[in-house]
Structure 1
């Protein structure tokens, strides 16, 4: 059936867990659920856009979207498998975890539990079904085993000048950009460029550039066979060690770890 076709069915039973495992590359337009959504990304990368902010979900990570939160979901590679569980929300007040958006590295235990749910693919699982308590237990372990979400957030903008700048950065990410060089390129003072990013995107220019470099690096790690050295230089780093340290700051793992886990 596919996730897009299943959207109207997800909320039909507010006491169930709806299960959907799908391999695809697609854009799922703006929507919301009365259920909380747990999705595990396998073999690729996904992007969630909420209120003009795009959150990046690498392979072997999962995201939780609280009930009622409007979002756009994009699967970034045809080899990506998105394994999703849409949970009843009647117990969401039991922990703050369930009321906030979060992206987390998945533990091996959680990965195996989520994969097991494929036996219920494209089904509503209810309390009278055999092994329903397995799904209840899966939901309960989330706040106990996953505390700190990843900070990989890229804000979007409708400001024409800012859009031109970020588009240029994306197309030339391999170059050694700086506040001074971009200011000169677009005829702005450094102070004006800094103010533009803080006012329009609520992020500093340098933090935006660093985030963009890491996102591009994740895409290359997951979707190409380029060496880590090549990727570091392709996203604008002179030093592989500096790239690796920044990557770890964002993802809490080294680039080699992400690639190894995804193979």
Structure 2
């Protein structure tokens, strides 16, 4: 799949776009656009990429992405339900005049933070779910008012920035294409032994050039990225299945339980058993 600049048109009779996406999986590759984007997951699960950040998503996942910040959502594994999400997209100049006014100070601050992407807690996301779903069918003027109310409500939530401070949005189309190839390759072969030679050859680079490119883009090594990906899948399986930690470790590509436990501790700061117990007592 090819990462690309995407043109986004407003909804009919409106100055911004509201839509519901439904399908077997997300079709968008790693892409960017000048519009801000608020995405709320209603169904399906997988891994979300925003800049150099990678994390699981599921029902209730709500993320605000800033202008030209690369992002994509990818389903992983067998799905119990199809993808369904609400997407709101708007140009910066939609609010440019209002953002200078005192009443919009908190929305202004939130939109500035969106340059790194913002993830909102699930309990706060659920508070705006009904309003986001209603946006689709509201008349244009009422839709705009409701949209502003949603933004204001979100300013009350704790902001968790996603992409690192050093992440750059100035990637070329060719570099974005490489990132997409890497994402797709890891998604397909994560539970097999992947070598630097394998992945470098996939994107038509030599091993040393690939390592420099990857660390420059993601500020981590490729093997740190693979392990982070595997552990993300493992956390999901610990919550949603009754498989043992060793069975989960094997399924995500670790043949050594001790190494799986060390990697889990490194990325999650707790053991797999403690992680499972914590979520099952919530």
Partner of 2:41: helix, strand, or coil? Answer: strand
Distance 1:71 1:185 in 2: 25
Report the alpha carbon displacement of residue 113 of structure 1 after superposing the two structures with TM.
1.3
Report the alpha carbon displacement of residue 197 of structure 1 after superposing the two structures with TM.
2.0
Distance 1:134 1:169 in 2: 38
Superposition pairs for residues 220-235 of structure 1, below 5 Å? 225=241, 227=243, 229=245, 230-235=247-252
**Contact in 1 for aligned 2:32/2:69 (Cα 8 Å):** yes
Alignment TM-score, normalising by the size of structure 2: 0.57
Superposition pairs for residues 162-173 of structure 1, below 5 Å? 167=185, 171-173=189-191
Identify the match of residue 83 of structure 1 among 81, 86, 101. Answer: 86
> Which of the two has greater strand per residue?
1
Structure 2 equivalent of residue 189 of structure 1? none
- Unaligned runs of at least 5 residues, structure 2: 1-6, 168-174, 200-205
Distance 1:172 1:120 in 2: 39
Identify the match of residue 151 of structure 2 among 139, 143, 147. Answer: 139
> Could you list the per-position Cα deviations for residues 171-207 of structure 1 after superposition, in whole angstroms to 9, with x for gaps in the alignment?
25366x8xxxx47999xxxxx9688424444222442
Partner of 2:19: helix, strand, or coil? Answer: strand
Distance 1:260 1:10 in 2: 43
**Contact in 1 for aligned 2:20/2:87 (Cα 8 Å):** yes
Identify the match of residue 265 of structure 2 among 242, 245, 249. Answer: 245
Superposition pairs for residues 96-111 of structure 1, below 5 Å? 96-99=109-112, 100-111=115-126
Alignment TM-score, normalising by the size of structure 1: 0.60
Partner of 2:95: helix, strand, or coil? Answer: coil
Partner of 1:28: helix, strand, or coil? Answer: coil
| Pair 1:197 & 2:211 matched | yes
Distance 1:135 1:169 in 2: 35
Identify the match of residue 230 of structure 2 among 198, 213, 221. Answer: 213
- Cα RMSD, aligned residues only: 4.8
**Contact in 1 for aligned 2:66/2:116 (Cα 8 Å):** yes
Partner of 1:81: helix, strand, or coil? Answer: strand
Aligned length: 229
Distance 1:207 1:117 in 2: 36
Partner of 1:145: helix, strand, or coil? Answer: coil
Report the alpha carbon displacement of residue 243 of structure 1 after superposing the two structures with TM.
5.5
**Contact in 1 for aligned 2:38/2:88 (Cα 8 Å):** yes
Partner of 1:8: helix, strand, or coil? Answer: coil
Partner of 2:87: helix, strand, or coil? Answer: strand
Structure 2 equivalent of residue 13 of structure 1? 14
Partner of 2:151: helix, strand, or coil? Answer: helix
Distance 2:26 2:275 in 1: 28
Distance 2:121 2:207 in 1: 38
